[in-house]
Homo-oligomer: A and B are copies of this chain.
Amino acid sequence: MHAHLIHAHPEPCSFVAAMRDVVRETLVEQGATVTISDLYEMRFNPVLSAADFPVRARADYLNCALEQRHAHAAGTIAADIRDEVDKVLAADLLVFTFPVFWFSMPAILKGWFDRVFLSGAFYGGRRIYGKGGLAGKRAFAAISLGGRRHMFGDDAIHGDLEGQLLRHFFQGTLGYVGLAVHRPFIAYHVPYVDEAERTRMLAELKAAVSMIDDRPFLPMPRLDDFDETLAPRKTPR
């Protein structure tokens, strides 16, 4: 198995960096090869713009999806994007380690998706979810939160984390391109817990990664339940 880790935290010695290291070490112990994109260390540019497309399909008006399809087909996408696309395509498992900022990703990671998950290569038309461009690959995220576990859930103050607040990430981004998305590892209350609790969480993460093949997947929309316009079928298949 080959895994590619995408890491995004502004502090090199963060708890999230420790989670990244645990994931990497545990995967290597199991015989996997592992590569890493450390977005802060790389000073990755997260801003999708005309500069991504040195050779334009349409010079007078920037339609990003159109230009992504054109640049991918023509091999003219910006070099920093091409490098990341190649790493994604080479991987069987994508791992994301990041702190939750505003119930979502840090901008540097959000922009990695904006720029790297190319229209055409990764999705397009009805080539989404089970038919997405990365179907057959898996994803796993290990994330940190300042909030506590009881703040999340259907009756909790913020709502459900996986199905509501982070649905744009787990389903709308990872699942959308066809990835099978393992149940995430969520470290709660990280800035406020003591060293013993951090050690306990890292051990729990290690156990989870050592059994990653058995880890359940999040539910995703099934294309068979929808018609050719992606409206719900009146008679389910």
Contact = CB atoms under 8 A, between A and B. Distances in A.
B172 A104 contact: yes
A110 B102 contact: yes
Interface in A150-187: 150-151, 155-159, 163-169, 171-173, 176
B65 A191 contact: yes
A157 B48 contact: no
Contact of A172 (B49, B64, B66, B158): B158
Give the copy number: 2
A107 B104 contact: no
Nearest to A225: B157
B10 A64 contact: yes
A221 interface: yes
Nearest to A8: B47
Contacts of A165: 167-168, 172
Contacts of A168: 102-104, 165-166, 168
A107 B10 contact: no
Given A101-B110, A164-B164, A168-B168, 5 more contacts: A11-B63, A66-B191, A102-B110, A150-B231, A163-B164
18 contacts: A10-B49, A10-B62, A48-B107, A65-B191, A102-B110, A102-B176, A103-B173, A104-B104, A106-B111, A107-B108, A107-B110, A110-B111, A129-B157, A158-B221, A159-B221, A165-B168, A165-B172, A166-B168
